[in-house]
Amino acid sequence: MDNIAILCSGGDVSGMNPALKHFVEYSLKKDLIPYFIYDGYEGLINNDIKKATYKDVAGIINRGGTIIRSARSKRFMHKKYRDIAKKNLDTLNIDKLIVLGGDGSFTGLHIFFKETGIKFCAIPATIDNDITGTDYCLGVDSALNIIKSSIDSIRDTASSFRRAFVIETMGRDCGYLALVSALTSGAELCLIPEIKYNLKYYEKDFTEQIKNGRKYFIAIVSEGIKQSSLEIANWFEETIGIESRVSVLGHIQRGGNPSIYDRLMAYKFVNYAIDALLDKKEGCMVSYCKSKFCYKSLNDVVNTIHHLDKELLSFLD
């Protein structure tokens, strides 16, 4: 029986625990011995690697986060520590590796692969949904559902007090969460890094809406825009003439009960990743494009700019 290991790197997402559960189940089904690497690449360097069993994953499918924890490893950027990591894998005869993570995690994995030839398959797992080569990353649906619930709740108090609420989502330099949340919540304003904006464009329309009876505004902004959420709120007060509040959703977007969709996607991502390694498709990422799973070379994924779907962007016009 061959040994296979899995680790989580970078920001955690809801959906990682369902992925870990199925990793153990499907590995054993395929006559592989599963191992957990704790604390991401840090655990790989520290040799915090343990054999995983059914007992380890019992009752975790409904939990957010990751039971094997995650980390951002500065040490893994240096070759001497990557050499230690490879030695730890070799000592345990682990020749297959699955990594759940985002762009930074995949960049490190790509370097590790070029140096060592480790057989790996990557699973895109980031609520930012900013990985080139895939339409969907694990954890996005759960994050969107949390944002949806937050916006719906904020709308109640916004309408009760005649206020504008500026709601800030995560996403780094990618506006996917803000864009989809704005479209599906009926927000009056959406500001994302991918589209240049000028607040003057909205002044006449918004002031007219107030004159015609509008009682509140919902503005969804991505954390990566050029202005702070507070500046947008001040604009509402000083220019549009409506009392304003800011709500930065922050890290609640990463946690919580994984959605049904993310649980199912976790199942499928893991299946495709393990099958890839068994079929000797090393050095790839499991991709979900146009409602179908496929494989993309990690060489074509890292260090490339991700672009939002043009159709989604057109809906803001």
Torsion (CA) 181, 262, 112, 296 in degrees, nearest 10: -80
**pLDDT score recorded for residue 316:** 86
Among 55-64, 99-108, 143-152, 304-313, the minimum mean pLDDT is found in: 304-313
Task: Summarize the confidence of residues 118-146 as an average pLDDT.
Answer: 97
Return the pLDDT at 257. 96
Written as six digits, the tokens of 135 are: 């339409």
pTM: 0.95
Is 141-253 in the same CATH topology as 2-139+258-304?
Answer: yes
Measured distance CA(206)–CA(204) in Å, rounded? 6
Sign of CA dihedral 149, 150, 153, 155: negative
**Proportion of the chain in helix, strand, coil states, percent, rounded to 5:** 45, 20, 35
Angle formed by the axes of helices 79-91 and 103-116, nearest 10°: 70
Nearest to 119 by CA among 7, 253, 280: 280
Delimit the domains of the chain by residue range: 2-139+258-304, 141-253
CATH number of 141-253: 3.40.50.460
Q: Class assignment of domain 2-139+258-304?
A: alpha beta
**pLDDT tens sequence across 229-262:** 999 999 999 999 999 999 999 999 999 999 999 9
The stretch 38-55 carries a mean pLDDT of 98
Q: Distance of CA 281 to CAs 101, 118, 263, 276, 297, Å? A: 19, 12, 24, 5, 9
128 is catalytic: yes
Taking the CA atoms of the chain, what radius of gyration do you get in angstroms? 22
Q: Which of 39, 103, 128, 262 is catalytic?
A: 128
